[in-house]
């Protein structure tokens, strides 16, 4: 194997690649692609934790029961969401808790593979499989004093990945039972969710948008494609020119159109080794905590700043942020918003150049390459799309831009290794712009479900749905259903 293809993690201890399990080696390579540092990691901190979901309530109860039997053992029990955010943590060993605090393996921090490199819970979530990562199998050297075992929790009703149960102990401790305990706890959580799902209150809407202060490897451009359409590359070129001239740039466009990704890729082109800090505007209750994080970050050398969604900031917070940025003197700065007129005046006064970012529907050549890239990131390998699925994705208007594309691809890869139209959400195959009632949505979804099965004739569909063929045709027109032919 070429030396350039050998992960830096393997070269640190001159590890023989033949002795490294394939899953672990693939995770090391991904960690390197994400830019995770080999020494001390910088996990992402999130300001808001959802503690009202059925998953959290059931998982917390299961871990509390398990903790009572392990209270005297040097083991920390944790529940994480599907993005690796640590939701809670239990342990009777105070020295272990202090050590975990030092590496930020604590509630409110995210330990996904993208953010912390190879670790037990991150790899379990990435591969959707029970995982043990021992001692020096971790990517970051600061984690080599621990052994982690984690098992994913799958919602038995929907098949959706809800999160993971993670057990962490010292690397010198016996870990033989850790994985079995993690799998048992994950299974018990899923079973309890199923038992309580009947009549459970709907999941409440978030009380505020989660905000992130992201480490340099996590700038929105990390690991994304750069060989996209001319519209996209021209926008990056323009942003790079303005940043190279020392100007403060605002990328404007629809939410999730890739504004912060574009800025980060432009920054990375100019300063490939610099640190890029990306911060999303917080929920109102988190503004003070968000502002307090800026002072130490702005003093660090070789740092570029991308402030995301500045149009969501209150004016008083924008004023304080402006003053902090001015005091940093010379830190490369860019920001994103939907429209320039919505940027708070204190920050609008800093803007010296504007770069429009086209919506995904306005750069259709990017849809299929991005869909395949997203699928590969979600599954860790290439995923095939049928020609009919390609046509359906290409014909959709993508009102939710890249975020919607991510959710559509996630829906597909959770159902099949080869994505066909029947694995796509009904919303992709329906052009109806009006809001549907629950009964209408159910009816539309059932029609699409039946019609997307291979070798289903209109006569077969009519019999299964209990409708006449004329009614089905009328409903297809009513819901503007478009199902590409195989």
Residue 204 lies in a domain: no
Shared domain for 65 and 188, answered yes or no, is yes
Residues 316 and 378 in one domain: no
- Does residue 418 sit within a domain? yes
CA 19 to chain centre: 31
Residues 353 and 373 in one domain: no
Please say which residue of 331, 358, 385 terminates a domain.
Answer: 358
Assess if residue 201 is contained within a domain.
Answer: no
Biggest alpha carbon distance in the chain? 72
Residues 258 and 375 grouped into a single domain: no
Rounded CA gap, 115 and 37, in Å? 10
| Full pLDDT tens readout for the chain, 486 residues | 444 456 666 666 555 666 778 888 888 888 888 888 888 777 777 766 677 889 999 999 999 999 998 888 899 999 999 889 999 999 999 999 999 998 989 888 889 988 899 999 999 998 888 999 998 899 998 999 999 999 999 988 877 889 999 999 998 776 668 999 999 999 999 999 988 875 444 344 333 333 444 443 334 444 566 678 999 999 999 999 999 998 999 999 999 999 999 998 898 888 887 778 788 888 777 788 788 877 777 777 777 888 999 988 888 888 888 888 888 777 788 999 999 988 988 899 999 999 999 999 999 999 999 999 999 888 888 899 999 899 889 988 898 899 999 999 998 998 888 998 888 888 888 876 666 777 877 888 788 887 887 677 788 787 778 888 888 888 888 778 787 876
CATH classification at residue 35:
3.30.450.40
CATH, residue 219? 3.40.50.300
Q: Is residue 207 part of a domain?
A: no
The angle at the Cα of 476, spanning 474 to 478, to the nearest 5 degrees, equals: 70
Let me know whether 286 and 393 are in one domain: no
Residue 19 domain-assigned (yes or no): yes
Q: Are 279 and 387 members of one domain?
A: no
**Domain match, 339 and 383 both:** no
**Phi-psi region at 265: left, alpha or beta (left = phi > 0; alpha = psi -120 to 50):** alpha
In a domain? residue 485: no
> Torsion angle of alpha carbons 266, 307, 208, 424, nearest 10°?
-10
Instruction: Select from 325, 358, 391 the last residue of a domain.
Output: 358
Which of 153, 168, 196 represents a domain boundary (last residue)? 196
How far apart (Å, rounded) are the C-alpha atoms in residues 238 and 257?
A: 17
- C-alpha neighbours within 13 Å on the C-beta side of residue 403: 9
Q: Are residues 110 and 256 in the same domain?
A: no
Q: Is the domain of 353 the same as that of 371? A: no
For residue 322, being part of any structural domain is answered with yes
Domain with 430, as residue range(s), is 363-478
Same domain, 37 and 183: yes
- For residues 126 and 149, membership in a common domain is answered with yes
Residue 484 domain flag: no
Q: How many domains does the chain have?
A: 3
> 249 and 182, same structural domain?
no
Strand bridging mode 275-280 / 303-308: parallel
């Amino acid at each position: 194997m070429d030396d350039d293809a050998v992960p830096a993690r393997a070269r640190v201890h001159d590890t023989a690649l033949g002795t490294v399990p394939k899953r672990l080696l693939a995770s090391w390579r991904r960690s390197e692609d994400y830019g995770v540092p080999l020494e001390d990691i910088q996990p992402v901190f999130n300001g808001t934790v959802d503690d009202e979901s059925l998953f959290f309530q059931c998982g917390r109860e299961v871990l509390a029961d398990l903790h009572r039997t392990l209270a005297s053992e040097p083991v920390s029990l944790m529940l994480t969401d599907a993005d690796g955010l640590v939701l809670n943590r239990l342990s009777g060993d105070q020295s272990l808790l202090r050590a975990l605090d030092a590496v930020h393996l604590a509630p409110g921090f995210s330990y996904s593979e993208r953010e912390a490199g190879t670790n037990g819970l991150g790899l379990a979530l990435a591969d959707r499989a029970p995982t043990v990562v021992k001692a020096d199998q971790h990517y970051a050297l600061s984690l080599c004093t621990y052994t982690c075992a984690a098992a994913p929790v799958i919602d038995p009703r929907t098949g959706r990945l809800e999160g993971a149960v993670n057990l962490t102990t010292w690397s010198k401790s016996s870990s033989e039972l850790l994985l079995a305990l993690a799998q048992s706890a994950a299974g018990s959580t899923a079973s309890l969710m199923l038992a309580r799902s009947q009549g459970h209150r709907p999941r409440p809407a978030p009380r505020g948008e989660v905000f992130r202060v992201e480490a340099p490897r996590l700038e929105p451009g990390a690991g994304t494609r750069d060989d996209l359409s001319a519209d996209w590359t021209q926008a990056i070129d323009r942003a790079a020119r303005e940043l190279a001239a020392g100007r403060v740039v605002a990328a404007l466009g629809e939410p999730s159109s890739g504004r912060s990704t574009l800025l980060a890729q432009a920054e990375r082109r100019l300063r490939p080794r610099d640190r890029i800090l990306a911060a999303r505007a917080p929920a109102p209750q988190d503004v003070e905590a968000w502002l307090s994080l800026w002072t130490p970050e702005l003093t660090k050398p070789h740092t570029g700043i991308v402030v995301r969604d500045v149009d969501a900031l209150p004016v008083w917070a924008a004023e304080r942020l402006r003053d902090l940025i001015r005091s940093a003197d010379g830190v490369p700065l860019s920001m994103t918003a939907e429209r320039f007129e919505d940027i708070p005046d204190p920050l609008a006064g800093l803007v010296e150049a504007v770069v429009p970012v086209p919506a995904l529907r306005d750069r259709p050549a990017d849809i299929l390459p991005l869909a395949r890239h997203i699928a590969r990131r979600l599954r860790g390998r290439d995923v095939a799309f049928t020609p009919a699925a390609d046509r359906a994705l290409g014909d959709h208007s993508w009102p939710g831009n890249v975020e919607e594309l991510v959710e559509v691809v996630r829906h597909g890869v959770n159902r099949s290794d080869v994505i066909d139209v029947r694995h796509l959400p009904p919303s992709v195959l329906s052009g109806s712009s009006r809001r549907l009632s629950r009964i209408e949505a159910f009816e539309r979804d059932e029609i699409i479900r039946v019609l997307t099965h291979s070798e289903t004739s209109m006569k077969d569909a009519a019999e299964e749905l209990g409708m006449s063929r004329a009614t089905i045709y009328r409903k297809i027109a009513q819901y503007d259903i478009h199902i590409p032919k195989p």
